Amino acid sequence: MPKSRYIVTDPKVCGGKPVFKGTRIPVSSVLYSLGAGETPDRILKGYPALTKKHIKEALNFAADMVDYEEREIA
């Protein structure tokens, strides 16, 4: 998992899915909301424990998770 200031995983919290530190809010919930067209401000109203920094970190986290290179093994 990429290093993150606001995102953590713990097998005892939400089955080990990435959540925002100090909450039980899955990162995927915010990403799905953004993908569905929700604005950051509307998401923050629904999750008052979060800030715009959390949303930005969620996007960076998702980018890091998919930014990989296939490497040929010799």
Instruction: Decide which of 4 and 21 is more confident.
Output: 21
Using the predicted structure, report yes or no on whether residue 60 has a pLDDT greater than 80: yes
* Cβ atoms of residues 8 and 2 within 8 Å: no
- Cα gap 7→23, rounded to integer Å: 10
The HSE-up count of residue 44 (CA atoms within 13 Å, CB side) is: 10
Q: What is the pTM of this model?
A: 0.85
pLDDT score recorded for residue 3: 73
Domains, the chain, with CATH or none:
7-66 (1.10.10.10)
* Cβ atoms of residues 7 and 57 within 8 Å: yes
Residue 26, classed as helix, strand or coil, is strand
pLDDT score recorded for residue 74: 67
> 10 Å Cβ neighbour count for 31?
16
- pLDDT digit string (tens) for 11-51? 999 999 999 999 999 999 999 999 999 999 999 999 999 99
